[in-house]
Structures are given as C-alpha cells and as structure tokens.
C-alpha cells in the first residue's frame, strides 16, 4: 500500500487532485492507475483527474496532467491556474511572475495579489496552432479548418479546429442549453480522424465581447470548465469574424467566467481565479 498527501483544488468547478512531487513520490508505472482510482467518486476522492506539481530543469515548476481515464494530457488551462496558486501559496516560488513547464511547452504566469494573498492569475497561453497537422486531424495537413463542413455519422456540422497545446473542435449553436453535449461530444472525441482524440466545444455568441461555452473534454467527459477550451473558443470566434483581436472577451462557462484575449502579436492571454477545496492523505494499491 502506498500513500501521499494531496490538495483538491478547483477553478470554474473543474476539479483535480494536486500532488506536490517536490515532497511526495508516486512511481511512474502507478500514475495511470492512480489517476483512474483517485478520480472515482465512489471509491476514490472524486475529481476530473490528477495533476502533478514537479521540479523542472527548464522552468520554475512543471505540471503533468492525467485525465480521469488515466490518459496524460498536453495542457490544461484550469490546471495551470490552480498550480499557479499552489506554488505561490506554498512558497515553491517567491515571485509573482514565473514559468510553468507543460507537455506542450513552457508558459509564463503573472499572479495578481493583494497583501501577498493570491487573487487571480493571468497566463500567456502562447500562440494557437491552426493547421490540421498541429491539431492533429488527418487530411490535408497544412490546411486550416475554419467554418468547414464535417460529417459525423449521418449529420454534417460546421466546425473550426484550434490547438492550444491540446486539440479543440468548436461548433456554434443558437442556444447553448440545447447543444448536443453528451450525444455529439463522445462521437467526435473518438473519431478516427483525430488520432489523439479531441476536446469538443459548443459556443453561443452573445455579443462582440461575450460568449457562452460548454465542453465535452477528452478523457473526462462533461466538465464545468476548460481553460484551454475557452482560449480556443475565442480564437475560433475571431477567425469566424464574430469578434476582433485585442478585445477582452468574457467566456461564460458552466462553472463561472474567464477573461480571454488574442493579441495582434499572436499570443492568447487567460485571466481567472483558482480555489483550494481540501487537503488530506490518499492510500493506494501499488502495482
């Protein structure tokens, strides 16, 4: 039997179990099974997955993300915000501007504080990738997919694809409450044209600075929020001429709001909060 201390955190209701590998250890071969078992609401703690806060040779800290099905993800916007709060609150970093290494690259972080208390954080999510090969989607690898008809089953939908270090497909709907989240979501996520799977987002445009967004996350299903998805949605909405660059867009998710902007220089910035839920010790079976 193994054990480690954990912190459960959420932002926008998207909750993960965070483990500080500066102090704790989990064997590499146990990570997938631990992520699955820890996420189980009946026999584990219950979460959208497991996030590890690790030492890094390239940045101030490193983040690894495991979905509730045990798969490892390239990036997670909500996870980045929680990691930012954790390392600042626990003095792993002693500055308000620092870097976090992810599987998709290094991001820059700016923690906003009041009296040394964490308020929210702005993260430079870097430049989006738009070519099919960068999503990836099989087909004409150099082409971008913007407002392109794509058939799933017997129905054709208009879709836009964006990678924020992880893959997103965006569909526009007239009423977010009627979006086929649980029906179309799992079909698209596992479509063979997306060899790494894909996050499936549905968007209702409210005006030039606001939109509604719901998501079926790859490896986790329906979640209350997705930070990289919110970024991808704003990029897609600008590409589809619903919005303009250098505009601060409010993205309304099921769990709350994020502020997103895509600058003329090409970087996407995300601002939002993060919250600690509880701390404890988890006991797990060693493989």
Q: What does the pLDDT look like over 111-121, one tens digit per residue?
A: 999 998 999 99
Strand duo 49-54 + 14-20: pairing: parallel
Phi, psi torsion values for 171, nearest 5 degrees: -120, 140
Q: Write the CATH number of the domain with boundaries 2-126+273-284.
A: 3.10.310.10
Active site (catalytic) residues: 76, 226
pTM equals 0.91
Q: What does the pLDDT look like over 166-220, one tens digit per residue?
A: 999 999 999 999 999 999 999 999 999 999 999 999 999 999 999 999 999 999 9
User: Do 45 and 8 meet the contact criterion of CB atoms below 8 Å apart?
Assistant: yes
Q: What does the pLDDT look like over 50-68, one tens digit per residue?
A: 999 999 999 999 999 999 9
Please state which CATH class domain 132-264 belongs to: alpha beta
Q: Looking at residues 143-161, what average pLDDT do you find?
A: 96
Indicate if 132-264 has the same CATH topology as 2-126+273-284: yes
Q: What does the pLDDT look like over 29-52, one tens digit per residue?
A: 999 999 999 999 999 999 999 999
Residue boundaries of the structural domains of the chain: 2-126+273-284, 132-264
CA distance 258 to 267: 16
């Amino acid at each position: 039997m193994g054990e480690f201390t954990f912190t459960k955190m959420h932002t926008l209701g998207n909750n993960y179990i965070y483990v500080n590998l500066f102090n704790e250890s989990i064997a590499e071969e146990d990570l997938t099974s631990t992520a699955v078992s820890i996420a189980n609401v009946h026999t584990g703690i219950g979460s959208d997955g497991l996030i590890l806060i690790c030492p890094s040779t390239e940045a101030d800290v490193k983040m690894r993300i495991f979905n509730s099905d045990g798969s490892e993800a390239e990036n997670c916007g909500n996870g980045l915000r929680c990691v930012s709060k954790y390392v600042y609150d626990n003095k792993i970093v002693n500055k308000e501007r620092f870097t976090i290494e992810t599987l998709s690259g290094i991001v820059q972080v700016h923690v906003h504080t009041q009296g040394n208390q964490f308020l929210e954080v702005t993260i430079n999510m870097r430049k989006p990738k738009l070519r099919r090969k960068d999503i990836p989607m099989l087909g004409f690898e150099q082409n971008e997919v913007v407002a392109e008809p794509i058939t799933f089953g017997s129905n054709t939908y208009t879709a836009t694809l964006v990678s924020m270090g992880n893959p997103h497909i965006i569909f526009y709907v007239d009423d977010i409450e009627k979006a086929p989240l649980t029906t179309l979501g799992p079909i698209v996520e596992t479509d063979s044209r997306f060899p790494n799977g894909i996050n499936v987002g549905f968007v209702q445009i409210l005006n030039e600075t606001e939109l509604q967004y719901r998501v079926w996350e790859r490896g986790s299903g329906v979640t209350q929020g997705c930070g990289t998805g919110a970024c991808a949605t704003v990029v897609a909405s600008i590409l589809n001429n619903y919005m303009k660059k250098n505009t601060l867009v409010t993205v309304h998710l099921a769990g709350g709001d994020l502020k997103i902007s895509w600058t003329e220089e090409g970087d996407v910035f995300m601002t939002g909060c993060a919250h600690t839920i509880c701390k404890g010790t988890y006991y797990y079976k060693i493989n």
